[in-house]
Amino acid sequence: MAASFLGRTGVRVLRAAVRVQHRCSGSASSVKSEYPGIVESRDEYHFVERLIPPTQVPNPPKHSAPTPSGWIPPKELPPQLPYFVRRSRMHNIPVYTDITHGNRHMTVVRKIEGDIWALELEVRNFLTELTGKTPPTQVNEISRTIRIKGYHDKELRTWLAEKGF
Q: Which residue has the higher pLDDT, 146 or 40?
A: 146
Nearest partner of 84 among 158, 139, 144, 127, judged by Cα: 144
What are the pLDDT digits (tens) for 98-128? 999 999 999 999 999 999 999 999 999 999 9
Domains (range + CATH), the chain: 83-163 (3.30.780.10)
What are the pLDDT digits (tens) for 62-81? 888 888 888 888 888 889 99
pLDDT of 44 reads 86
pLDDT of 118 reads 97
Contacts 24+ apart (CB under 8 A), 102-106: 104/149, 105/149, 105/150, 105/151, 106/147, 106/148, 106/149, 106/150
